[in-house]
Amino acid sequence: MKAHGFGVGRGFVSHVETAVAFLPTSGDVLTPAGRERLAGYIEEGGFAGAHAAACTEYDWPYYGEPIGARFARRPEYQPVKAVIEDREHPEPRSLRAVWRFTDEWYDFRVNPRP
């Protein structure tokens, strides 16, 4: 974190080899200088957002691009059927083609899929 000048806000910011990871972040966690540094690092390195990263930095339009969609609400836990659409991609190869489970699923303001 120090090498790239990031501070820790209300969430957790971590530097991991070639990416910055926002894990349980929420709200505005960066100063204007931190935003500038993060944007530069995203352009040169990488970014990973997990869990509540989609409800972080709402007032910063640039941040919405790497996230893909902004958090709208979190409904109650609900059962779902997940379907792996691209069986050729290496990431889901170890998963069943279809699996069912109950979990919390975020609703987004727009569909993040292209």
CB 93 within 8 A of CB 87: yes
DSSP output for 13-37: EEEETTEEEE-S--B----HHHHHH
Q: Which residue(s) pair with 56 in the sheet?
A: 27
Provide the token pair at 35: 């935003």
Domain residues of the chain, as ranges?
2-68, 74-108
pLDDT at site 17? 54
Structure tokens that stand for 29 in this block: 């966690």
Q: Which residue type sits at 110?
A: V
Estimate to the nearest angstrom the gap between the alpha carbon of 86 and the chain centroid. Answer: 21
For β-strands 47-49 and 19-22, DSSP reports them as: parallel
pLDDT in tens, the chain (114 residues): 344 454 444 444 444 456 677 877 888 999 999 999 889 888 876 777 887 888 899 889 998 888 888 889 988 999 999 898 888 888 888 888 998 999 988 888 988 877
